[in-house]
Amino acid sequence: MRFVDRKAVAEPEILQAPFTRGRKKGLSELDDVTDFMARKAAGEATGSYTFLRYKEDAVTEALEALFFRKCAYCESAYDIVQPVDVEHYRPKGAVDGAEGHDGYWWLAMDWRNLLPSCIDCNRRRGQRIAGPAGATDVNAGKQTLFPLRDPTRRWADSAAQGEDDGSGEGRLLLDPTRDDPALHLAFDVDLAAPLGLIYARPDPDRPDPGRTDAAGALPALEETGPMVRAAAEAGLSPMGAVSIQVYGLNRTGLVQARTRVMRDMAFLHRLVVSLGELAMDLRERAEETTRPASDRDFDRRVAVKLDALRADAKEQMRLKTAPDAPYSEAARAWARATLAELKSDPAQPAPPAGR
């Protein structure tokens, strides 16, 4: 998961546009659902409201442009194998564990509440979750979950929300357009044997002068309460821990895919170093005046080609850390770890760190 600036893509006008035909003509979806919920509270309507605006093509296209056709949570490129789930960060209907709550229905067409998600991050079911000690089968996937630090602070309606931008409710799930996931999530990169597990960072809301920045592993739990307590006892970010748990960010397939990205980065870096050394050796040989001029010229030409290949390899590394690359945060984590190791040896070429 990486931070995405929502302002980079304009809000689709269709979300707030009035309907142009039928019973809803002239009403926005927010107006219509507000009327429906009022009638339901008065016993004049039953059932649930059918939301339409978030399903519009313009909304899907805007979200795909904003997130480069990747899942907002796990960075998987979903478009090759599955349609996108337009996900409501705050559930539009019932909220799991909040009996009697009608969901955040007034946010169902709010651009700030919509995210693109892969099926696995969005739909709760039994999934294989990897960890340092092995894999465990647990229920993972967000669906209608929206855990809070204090459930009594949950908004019941738009009046309860008021002017709150979302921080006052005490939410426990990361939103990559509101939060910087890098403050809550981390990869503990072992360069000798990279493994794409995500860990919770130390809690940024509990500064401790004596702490390190080392991320920590927590057990794979299904319930939010025990996960929050485990994170608190370990001094780790509750938002990081709960987000890993709910979104299933350590699903075995994800861990394997991120591990492959890290290994690709390691291979490309070795290639960059080796090609640079070979080009340097050839240029040194080309300066040996005792050798035939034709041989020296050949060495120079080969060195130029090796330089071009080296530049291509460096560009491939940069592309893997770019915002549109799947699992770019794993690639960036590997690059940061490698840069840290190379600080003591400035002669070694550093990998591109990306943006």
Tens-level pLDDT at each residue, the chain (355 residues): 999 999 999 999 999 999 998 878 999 999 999 999 999 999 999 999 999 999 999 999 999 999 999 999 999 998 777 788 899 999 999 899 888 899 999 999 999 999 999 999 999 988 999 888 888 888 889 999 999 998 889 998 888 887 777 777 889 999 999 999 999 999 989 898 999 999 999 888 776 644 445 556 666 655 677 788 888 888 889 999 999 999 999 999 999 999 999 999 999 999 999 999 999 999 999 999 899 999 999 999 999 999 999 999 999 999 999 999 999 999 999 999 999 887 766 655 566 655 4
What residues pair up with 199 in beta bridges, in sequence order? 186
CA angle 331/334/336 to nearest 5° reads: 110
What residues pair up with 137 in beta bridges, in sequence order? 128
pLDDT for the residue 217: 64
Pairing between β-strand 134-140 and β-strand 125-131 as defined by DSSP bridges: antiparallel
Q: Could you give the CA distance from residue 40 to residue 105 in angstroms, rounded to a whole number?
A: 13
Query: What is this structure's pTM?
Result: 0.88
Whether the Cβ atoms of residue 339 and residue 317 lie closer than 8 Å to each other: no
* Paired tokens of 10: 């304009």
pLDDT for the residue 61: 96
pLDDT for the residue 118: 94
What residues pair up with 140 in beta bridges, in sequence order? 125
Residue 56 contacts by C-beta under 8 Å, 6 or more apart in sequence?
12, 14, 15
Whether the Cβ atoms of residue 75 and residue 328 lie closer than 8 Å to each other: yes
- Cβ-defined contacts of 260-263 (< 8 Å, 24+): 260/196, 261/196, 261/320, 261/326, 261/327, 261/330, 261/331, 261/334, 262/189, 262/194, 262/195, 262/196, 262/330, 262/331, 262/333, 262/334, 263/194
Q: Is the dihedral of CA 237, 238, 244, 245 positive or negative?
A: positive
pLDDT for the residue 288: 93
Whether the Cβ atoms of residue 250 and residue 131 lie closer than 8 Å to each other: yes
CA angle 327/329/331 to nearest 5° reads: 80
pLDDT for the residue 234: 84
